[in-house]
Amino acid sequence: MPPSRMAGNGRETVLATVIDGKQVAASVIDTVKAATAALDKQSGVQAGLAVIIVGDDPASHAYVGSKSKMAKECGFKSVQHTLPVETTQEDLAALVASLNADDTIHGILVQLPLPKHLNSEPIIQSILPEKDVDGLHVVNAGKLAVGDLETGLVSCTPAGAMVFVRRTHGEDLSGLNAVVVGRSNLFGKPMAQLLLNANATVTIAHSRTKDLPSVCRSADILVAAVGRPEMVKADWVKRGATVIDVGINRIAAPEKGEGKTRLVGDVAFAEAAEVADVITPVPGGVGPMTIAMLMANTVIAAHRAAGQTPPKF
């Protein structure tokens, strides 16, 4: 049961349960650590993750730094390749080829975006699908589309959002309506396919959808990934729904001082929390799950390479 409390106007307002993404991510990381140690003990295989970053974008370096650090904490062999901005397409392709051929590396991640002179698509598609821990290879997209979750790898953010859905509703979503707002290859499409695979009745809505609020109101599980700050209002949310907010938008926050900013999601959190049963915050919701699922994909890939049954998340 969600906690309830009295609103300022004296009426009782039921507030949703707020999912703690950091806590769920920490539990995923605990499973990864245990599975990494068990694999090493049983097969003598240490899971290995290689992260490639090209250029000197500070935000990308911060992301990659936390990925490499978390990989070490999980007990992985963690390799970071930091390449100069003038790296050529051929140099980058050669590095991916050498990591494809390296048996001690089970996961390869090329941090995006790449500098403008590099073409990311052929690089991503040159990663061996079984080492594509970002789940961006067309083979992995295709396996998800046909419901093959046993041999494919699922991209990290939808995989993380799905952990929240499973912990709220269980494995079987039969009879539940799910609406995913957003149709990107990176998130909306794989998220919809994961929900469908779990037997939800799935609608993919987007900027061209007619009467988006009423489509959203039909959702027992509403997933927002539109990239528009606080677009999903309380009256878009069905009472009792589970709301997963995948947006990360930086907006001006003059209340914090001149020139200050803050992060908000695609959902108007405070008002939606009065209608939903379960909701994710921004920050601290889906965000922390992305790195955790990268670690999960790496330990899954290492188990498969060693012929062992991987853990489930």
Rounded Cα–Cα distance for residues 208 and 221 (Å): 20
Q: Which of residues 22-81 bind ligand GUN (CB under 6 A)?
A: 63
123-162: contacts with ligand GUN (CB under 6 A): 134, 156
Q: Look at the chain and count its residues.
A: 313
Tell me, yes or no, if 111 is annotated catalytic.
yes
111 touching ligand GUN, by CB under 6 A? yes
**Catalytic residue (choose from 111, 132, 143, 277):** 111
The interaxial angle of helices 156-169 and 287-305, nearest 10 deg, is 100
Q: In the set 24, 49, 99, 110, which binds ligand GUN (CB under 6 A)?
A: 110
Work out how close the CB of 212 gets to ligand GUN at its nearest, in angstroms, rounded to a whole number: 26
Closest distance of CB 155 from ligand GUN, Å = 7
Nearer to ligand GUN, 87 or 290 (CB): 290
Beta strands 261-264 and 249-252: pairing type?
A: antiparallel
Nearest 5 degrees, angle CA 132-CA 297-CA 20? 130
Quote the crossing angle between the two packed helices 287-305 and 58-73, to the nearest 10°. 50
Assess whether 131 carries a catalytic annotation.
Answer: no
Residue of minimal CB distance from ligand GUN? 112
Alpha-carbon gap, residue 10 to 15, rounded angstroms? 14
Place of tokens 């889906």: 286
CB of 272 to ligand GUN, least distance (A): 25
Strand 261-264 to 12-14 pairing: unpaired
Does position 242 interact with ligand GUN (CB under 6 A)? The reply is no
Binding residues for ligand GUN (CB under 6 A): 63, 109-112, 134, 156, 290
Q: Which residues belong to the active site?
A: 67, 111, 134
